[in-house]
Structure 1
């Protein structure tokens, strides 16, 4: 029975872990972000050019919530993945009102695309 449980756990984990993220597919997912974010200039939300590796609440000229300013987050892949699952759950008090991206593959692809933005 233990072998079966271990095998079942591996089956559910391996496909997501083994899946290679696709920046082109992530560009399509980014369409969900465009209502508030642009790549090269602030809009309703801060610009996302160079977001990967950047400290949260650090884009000049954008008025961030106190919650995000105090979060201490640096936008690496893990932090972005958590944030994109539900910003208000990740940082209560954030101004970003977005339900999140529930699909693991879509989030991975979006993050891969965000890594291409300079």
Structure 2
């Protein structure tokens, strides 16, 4: 009976493990972001070091759009998911020129990588 329960539990958890965030895959995805973003300095886009947990539009030394500064958002995982999928949908009037990443797994991986850059 124990083996049956253990087997059933593993079968239920396997899909969750497949959905786990992968920071290494996120680092590869970040290559697309490097055209505008870096860690430790502003560029075309703001410095992304320490983004997770930060209030949107507040990194010192970057000229954010009024829309982002006034958004009231904080970059938690849920907000980053929405932002990375559709920046202009989440914050109309943002300066960010990016159509969005539609693959949920890739978004999760990218967020996992951003979390390593605190």
Tell me the residue number matched to 2:24.
24
* Structure 2 unaligned spans of 5+: 1-13
* Bigger shift: residues 67-76 or 18-27: 18-27
| Structure with greater helix percent | 2
Distance (Å, rounded) in 2 between the aligned partners of 1:69 and 1:38: 20
- Where does 1:9-20 land on structure 2 (aligned, <5 Å)? 15=15, 19-20=19-20
Larger Rg: 2
Distance (Å, rounded) in 2 between the aligned partners of 1:30 and 1:23: 10
Using structure 1 for the length normalisation, give the TM-score. Answer: 0.85
- Where does 1:1-118 land on structure 2 (aligned, <5 Å)? 15=15, 19-118=19-118
Change over 3 Å in CA distance of 1:16–1:102 after alignment to 2: farther
Using structure 2 for the length normalisation, give the TM-score. Answer: 0.85
Distance (Å, rounded) in 2 between the aligned partners of 1:47 and 1:78: 20
Residue 55 of structure 1 deviates from its aligned partner by 0.4
Distance (Å, rounded) in 1 between the aligned partners of 2:83 and 2:92: 11
CA deviations 1:51-97 (Å, max 9, x no partner) are 00000001100000000011000000000000001111110000001
Distance (Å, rounded) in 2 between the aligned partners of 1:97 and 1:56: 16
* Structure 1 unaligned spans of 5+: 1-13
Tell me the residue number matched to 2:4.
none
Change over 3 Å in CA distance of 1:107–1:16 after alignment to 2: farther
Number of equivalences: 105
Residue 18 of structure 1 deviates from its aligned partner by 5.8
